[in-house]
Amino acid sequence: AFGSAEVAYAPAQIIRTFTVRNLDTSPLSLTGSPRVALSGAHAADFSVVSPLPAEIAAGSSATFQIRFAPTAAGPRLATVTIA
Evaluate the CA torsion angle 44, 40, 71, 64 in order and state its sign: negative
pLDDT tens for the chain, residues 1 to 83: 677 766 655 567 899 999 999 999 999 999 999 999 999 999 999 999 999 999 999 999 999 999 999 888 889 999 999 99
Q: For residues 51 and 64, what is the distance between their CA atoms, to the nearest angstrom? A: 5
- Tell me how crowded residue 77 is: count the other CB atoms within 10 A of its CB: 11
Prediction pTM value: 0.86
